Amino acid sequence: MERRQFLQFFLATSLLGPVLTQGQDRRYLVEKTDSEWKRILTPEQYFVTRQKGTERAFSGKFWNNREKGTYRCVCCSAELFRSDAQVDNGSGWPTFTKVANPRNVEERETQTGRGKELSCSRCGAYLGQLTQDGSARLKYTINSAALNFERGK
Ligand SMILES: [Zn+2]
């Protein structure tokens, strides 16, 4: 009897599995409802990270930050970039040549085909764009509003 119940359970879950995941967005380690994000984040942070917004150039906190330290996801604190990879390219957004931890940053093709969209792989926060310059160097252009800065290290 127990064995039969187990088999029924097993069959039911394995049949339901693919149906349940179909058409749903990717699941993240850190997940919150929209109203929870709104409570935690400032309106600008919410607009950028949760609605894929872009802050105005030269308006953010970190585009010309020269301090040494680590940039973390404003939503979940995942380590994303380090100051030693930050370059001043005059774009008006913090720009990096590489990520601190590749496991924490996700790349997705954009509809325009120009560059890739970047998001945090722990919580799905939209971060900015990945492009290549003329000499094929990678350029991670990130919204300040998606980042927290931790001095030192
Ligand atoms: Zn995150």
pTM of the predicted structure, to 2 decimals? 0.81
User: Alpha-carbon distance 121 to 100, whole Å?
Assistant: 13
Ligand 1 center from residue 146 Cα (angstroms): 9
Number of domain units in the chain:
1
Ligand 1 center from residue 82 Cα (angstroms): 15
Ligand 1 center from residue 105 Cα (angstroms): 9
Q: Is residue 4 assigned to a domain?
A: no
- CATH value at residue 56: 2.170.150.20
Q: Is residue 40 assigned to a domain?
A: yes
Q: Is residue 13 assigned to a domain?
A: no
Give Cβ neighbours of residue 153 (< 8 Å, ≥ 6 apart).
68, 69, 70, 82
pLDDT digits 0-9 by tens, 43-102 = 999 999 999 999 999 999 999 999 999 999 999 999 999 999 999 889 999 999 999 999
> Burial, 28: exposed, middle or buried (Cβ in 10 Å; 0-12, 13-18, 19+)?
middle
pLDDT digits 0-9 by tens, 103-136 = 999 999 987 777 899 999 999 999 999 998 778 8
Domain boundaries, position 106: 30-151
Residue with the bigger pLDDT between 71 and 14: it is 71
Ligand 1 center from residue 147 Cα (angstroms): 9
pLDDT the model gives residue 71: 98
Count of other CB atoms within 10 angstroms of residue 72: 20
Ligand 1 center from residue 104 Cα (angstroms): 8
User: Alpha-carbon distance 120 to 79, whole Å?
Assistant: 9
Residue with the bigger pLDDT between 78 and 12: it is 78
Could you give the angle at the alpha carbon of 112 between the alpha carbons of 107 and 113, nearest 5°?
55
